[in-house]
Amino acid sequence: MASNDTLAERLLAGDKRALARAITLVENDDPLGWEVVQEVYPHTGRAALMGLTGPPGAGKSTLIGALTRARRAAERTVGVLSIDPSSPFTQGALLGDRIRLTEHFLDAGVFIRSMANRGALGGLSEAALQAALLMDASGKDDVFIETVGVGQAEVDIIGHADTIVLVLIPGSGDSVQALKAGVMEIPDIIVVNKCDHPLTDTVVREIRGVLSLAPQRGWRVPIVKTEAARGLGIDALIEQLELHRAHLEEEGTLEERRRRNLRSEVIAICANRMRRRLEEALHEDDGVFRGLLDEVVARRIDPASAATTLLERVDAAEAAPHAGG
């Protein structure tokens, strides 16, 4: 317990290695990690939490690199959390992307961390949010979370940011259609990166058309053109990030938004733990489960009835006293 106290203390003092260690504990679902979060939580809530999402190849890492450079120039400290999608056959390419952040690796005011999606979707989103809290507690002024905008887990992660930035490029026809059809939520800021491309104005016009159809809220979603690789448009993006934050604070919606986010975080943690319990109860080597599945495959018991039987079993196991820890 004493060494754990020290870890939390060192983290609060801004020690990079303590932060790295705490995130590893959380990522490994180590109870010590949860204890650290519990201890430092009263010191969170100060950082500006920004989520960047968008299709792979939109240049999110490069953009975050450029944002980090600009924030450092303004003497702000930065945390970056990159959520790696599970990539069975192109991991190299994605890691290569992240290399664009290397110039910041030696800067004490910058902390960069990647988290891999190792199949355990709910688990990843849970760990990512805890990691963001740890970065916040360690005194980072700005925390950027980067996810690929595909899949519910990624959406869950990004949903917890104060400001959500969607990064598109010329050629992002599918994302524009998804916005238009209402299957992708309208973010707070839209970036069109790689704006040196000749089709930039076409995609900007399409996005503007979609936004004009969207219900009007207090905040008018800006479209910012950037060419992150050359640092172009970054100042304009930072201005919009600050305007959005000021808007949240003026309207008093920052607290409201954070309450809603924390509420869904608590529920997500509960649901994820329940699901884990279920999966533990349903080992492949569980004879009853396998027998039931055989019956379902043979079309003798329907899936819903099989689920009812299994849930009764899980409940009975829950009601019985736990063996071991």
Q: Please list every residue from 180 through 199 that binds its own copies, using CB under 8 A.
A: 180-184
Beta bridge partners of 148: 54
Query: Rounded to a whole number, what is the distance in angstroms from the first to the last CA of the chain?
Result: 18
CB 23 within 8 A of CB 131: yes
Which of 133, 158, 221, 228 is in the footprint of its own copies by CB under 8 A? Answer: 133
List phi, psi (to 5°) of 195.
Answer: -75, 5
# of chain residues touching its own copies (CB under 8 A):
83
Under rule CB under 8 A, residue 24 binds its own copies: no
How near is the Cβ of 23 to its own copies at its closest, in Å?
14
Note whether 145 binds its own copies by CB under 8 A: no
Residue with tokens 């917890």: 160
Judged by CB under 8 A, the stretch of 12-20, 219-227, 233-241, 290-298 that binds its own copies is: 290-298
Residue 314 interacts with its own copies (CB under 8 A): yes or no: yes
Q: Which stretch binds its own copies (CB under 8 A): 10-18, 66-74, 105-113, 303-311?
A: 303-311
Nearer to its own copies (CB atom), residue 199 or residue 243? 199
Please pick, from the candidates 6, 28, 86, 102, the single residue that binds its own copies as defined by CB under 8 A.
86
Q: E strand or H helix at 184, and its extent?
A: none
CA distance 104 to 176: 33
Whole-number Å distance between alpha carbons of 154 and 76: 27
**Strand arrangement of the beta sheet that strand 48-54 belongs to:** 110-116, 78-84, 142-148, 48-54, 163-168, 189-192, 223-225
**Binding-site member from 215, 218, 321, 324 for its own copies (CB under 8 A):** 215
- Contact window for its own copies (CB under 8 A) among 4-12, 99-107, 240-248, 269-277: 269-277
